[in-house]
Amino acid sequence: MNKENTMSNSGKLTKEQDSTLQGSLQVAVGGEIHQIAGGEHQALTTNQGVALSDNQNSLRANPSGPTLGEDFILREKITHFDHERIPERVVHARGTGAHGFFELTTSLKQYTTARILTEVGEKTPVFTRFSTVAGGAGSVDTPRDVRGFAVKFYTKEGNWDLVGNNIPVFFIQDAIKFPDLIHAVKMEPDRGFPQSATAHDTFWDFISLTPESMHMVMWIMSDRTIPRSLRMIEGFGVHSFRLVNDSGESTFVKFHWRPKLGLQSTIWDETVKISGADQDFHRRDMFDAITSGNFPEWEFAVQLFTQEEADTFPFDHLDPTKLIPEELVPLKVIGRMVLDRWPNNFFAETEQIAFCPSHLVPGIDFSNDPLLQGRLFSYHDTQLSRLGTPNFHQIPINAPKCPFSNQQRDGHMQMAQQAGRVAYEPNSLSGESPRETPTNGFHSAAVTETGVKGRVRAASFADHYSQARLFYISQTAYEQAHIASALVFELSKVEHVHVREAIVGHLRHIDEALAQRVAAGLGFGKIPNAPVPARPVQEMQPSPALQIIGKMKDTLMGRTLGILITNGSDGAVIDQLKRAATSAGATVKIVSPKVGDVKLASGLMLSADGQLAGCPSVLFDAVAVLLSDEGAKALSVESAAIDFVRDAFGHLKAIAVDKGGQALLKIANVGQDAGVVDANDQAAFIAVAKTRQWNREKSIRTLA
- Residue of 100, 135, 143, 148 that binds ligand HDE (CB under 6 A): 148
Residue from 92, 99, 215, 282 carrying the catalytic annotation: 92
Angle at 372 between CA 194 and CA 324, to 5 degrees: 95
Is the CB of 163 or the CB of 626 nearer to ligand HDE? Answer: 163
The residue from 99, 159, 165, 651 that is catalytic is 165
Asked if 442 touches ligand HDE (CB under 6 A), the answer is no
Confirm or reject binding of residue 390 to ligand HDE (CB under 6 A). no
Contact with ligand HDE (CB under 6 A) among 21, 126, 175, 648: 175
- Contact (Cβ atoms closer than 8 angstroms) between residue 385 and residue 369: no
Q: Say how many CA atoms lie within 13 Å of 128 toward its Cβ.
A: 28
Using CB under 6 A, pick the residue from 45, 58, 107, 382 that binds ligand HDE.
382
Q: Which stretch binds ligand HDE (CB under 6 A): 12-20, 87-95, 222-230, 585-593?
A: 87-95
Does 101 help bind ligand HDE (rule: CB under 6 A)? no
Residue 546 CB, nearest distance to ligand HDE (Å)?
Answer: 18
Looking at the DSSP assignment, which residues form a beta bridge with residue 302?
255, 332
Residue 248 burial (10 A CB sphere; 0-12, 13-18, 19+): exposed
Going by the DSSP 8-state scheme, the letter that residue 527 receives in this structure is P
Q: Is 89 in the site for ligand HDE (CB under 6 A)?
A: yes
> Any contact of residue 194 with ligand HDE (CB under 6 A)?
no
> Does residue 402 sit in helix, strand or coil?
coil
Q: Nearer to ligand HDE by C-beta: 150 or 338?
A: 150
| Nearest residue to ligand HDE on Cβ basis | 148
In 3D, which of 214, 57, 156, 97 has the Cα closest to residue 531?
Answer: 214
Q: Which of 101, 170, 252, 644 binds ligand HDE (CB under 6 A)?
A: 170
**Contact with ligand HDE (CB under 6 A): which of 114, 126, 163, 624?**
163
Report the alpha-carbon distance of residue 298 to residue 136 in Å, rounded: 27
CA separation, residue 549 to residues 455, 546, 677 (Å): 42, 9, 23
Nearer Cβ to ligand HDE (147/500): 147
Residue 98 or 238: the one with the smaller Cβ distance to ligand HDE is 238
Please tell me the distance from the alpha carbon of residue 301 to that of residue 288, in angstroms, as a whole number.
27
Smallest distance, ligand HDE to C-beta of residue 164, A: 5
Pairwise CA distance, residues 210 & 181, whole Å: 10
Look up 92 and say whether it is catalytic.
Answer: yes
Contact residues for 485 (Cβ-Cβ < 8 A; gap 6+): 268, 521, 703, 704
What 3-state class would DSSP assign to 33?
A: strand
Q: Does the annotation flag 89 for ligand binding?
A: yes
399 vs 440: CA distance, rounded Å: 21
129 labeled binding residue: yes
Does residue 178 touch ligand HDE according to CB under 6 A? yes
For residue 99, what are the contacts with CB-CB under 8 A and spacing of at least 6? 125, 126, 127, 339, 340, 341, 342, 343, 349
Question: In angstroms, rounded to a whole number, what is the distance separating the alpha carbons of residues 433 and 138?
Answer: 45
Cβ-Cβ contacts under 8 Å for 292 (sequence gap 6 or more): 587
The span from the CA of 193 to the CA of 144, in Å, is 15
Of residues 379, 392, 461, 644, which one binds ligand HDE by CB under 6 A?
Answer: 379
Pick the stretch among 12-20, 159-167, 589-597, 691-699 that binds ligand HDE (CB under 6 A).
Answer: 159-167
From 85-93, 415-423, 629-637, 684-692, span contacting ligand HDE (CB under 6 A): 85-93
Instruction: Decide: is 461 part of the binding site for ligand HDE (CB under 6 A).
Output: no
Q: Does 13 bind ligand HDE (CB under 6 A)?
A: no
Task: For residue 90, state whether it binds ligand HDE (rule: CB under 6 A).
Answer: yes
Q: Which of 136, 262, 374, 550 binds ligand HDE (CB under 6 A)?
A: 374
Of 398 and 560, CB closest to ligand HDE = 398
> Contacting ligand HDE (CB under 6 A), which of 116, 117, 197, 238?
238
Q: Is residue 178 a known part of a binding site?
A: yes
The nearest distance, CB 148 to ligand HDE, in angstroms, is: 3
Instruction: Compute the distance between CA of residue 80 and CA of residue 59 in angstroms, rounded to an integer.
Output: 18
Residue 202 or 350: the one with the smaller Cβ distance to ligand HDE is 350
Q: Least separation, in Å, of the C-beta of 381 and ligand HDE?
A: 7
Interacting span for ligand HDE (CB under 6 A) from 160-168, 215-223, 266-274, 601-609: 160-168
379 is in an annotated binding site: yes
Is 165 assigned a catalytic role?
A: yes
In the complex, least distance from residue 117 CB atom to ligand HDE, rounded to whole angstroms = 19
325 CB neighbour count, 10 Å cutoff: 20
Residues 6+ apart with CB under 8 A from 41: 1, 20, 21, 22, 25
Asked if 222 touches ligand HDE (CB under 6 A), the answer is no
Q: How many residues does the chain have?
A: 704
CA angle 59, 61, 67 (to 5 degrees): 50
Catalytic residue ranges: 92, 165
Residues within the interface to ligand HDE (CB under 6 A): 89-92, 95, 129, 131, 148, 150, 163-165, 170, 175, 178, 238, 355, 371, 374-375, 378-379, 382
Residues of each annotated binding site for heme: 89, 129, 178, 375, 379, 386
